[in-house]
Amino acid sequence: MEKAEVYSKLTGVFRDVFDEDDLALSPQTTTDDVDGWDSLSHIRLVLAVSKAFGVKFSASEIGSLKNVGEFADLIEKKA
């Protein structure tokens, strides 16, 4: 799966989870950049991404992510 495809699909998941139709992602996007991105929504996001891409993540993988770019890289490796 190519990076552009990952970002396109990931953006759709983010928009659905955070109920924000105009949410735009960049590799530098962090929890501080998205309204409502707290620990509960983070769990919902990870579950939604797992389902959308058909991949599973370990707690250590998720805990080490610093931004959306690292999340996209991890998805790209697993998908």
Structure tokens at 75: 């998805």
3 state DSSP class of 48: helix
52 contacts 13 by C-beta, under 8 angstroms: yes
Structure tokens at 57: 């993540």
- Is this model's pTM higher than 0.85 or not? yes
65 contacts 45 by C-beta, under 8 angstroms: no
pLDDT in tens, 43-74: 999 999 999 999 999 999 999 999 999 999 99
Number of neighbouring beta carbons within 10 Å of residue 73: 15
CA distance 51 to 32: 24
